[in-house]
Copies of this chain bind each other. A is one copy, B any other.
């Protein structure tokens, strides 16, 4: 029904119909972003033969969604992103006042996605929300690099 309406609206242009459908699904995803999330996955990623490691907690609404391939793939991509791109915060809102940081470089959600730099990490989360049909949030992450300490000491 939704597809037929989009096709009618696009006057039979299939590419245009796809674009309409994609936009609607992302709009629906936007609306889901206020719903509370208590389920999800902890995912880890070890890189460079054990010299770098990352762990993320990604939350969704139900355990059913957490077990879906789309959600698992997102969690894996996020752990990989943290390992590779060293974000310092999740979002711009998390940067403490007085800290002079470049949000685009330091915030996970604003970083270009390593596997497709034409999208941000927030974009791939929004796409996953559209696929899974539930709100999704990154609640925390951690990154270890060999020989570096959390406190910045050698």
Contact = CB atoms under 8 A, between A and B. Distances in A.
Interface string A121-154: 0000000000000000001101011110110000
Q: This chain: how many copies in the complex? A: 2
Contacts of A51: 41-42
B50 A146 contact: no
Contacts of A44: 44-46, 53, 55
A61 interface: no
Contacts of A41: 50-51, 146
Contacts of A40: 50, 146-147
A66 interface: yes
Interface in A36-80: 38-46, 49-53, 55, 57, 59, 66-67, 75
Interface of A: 38-46, 49-53, 55, 57, 59, 66-67, 75, 139-140, 142, 144-147, 149-150
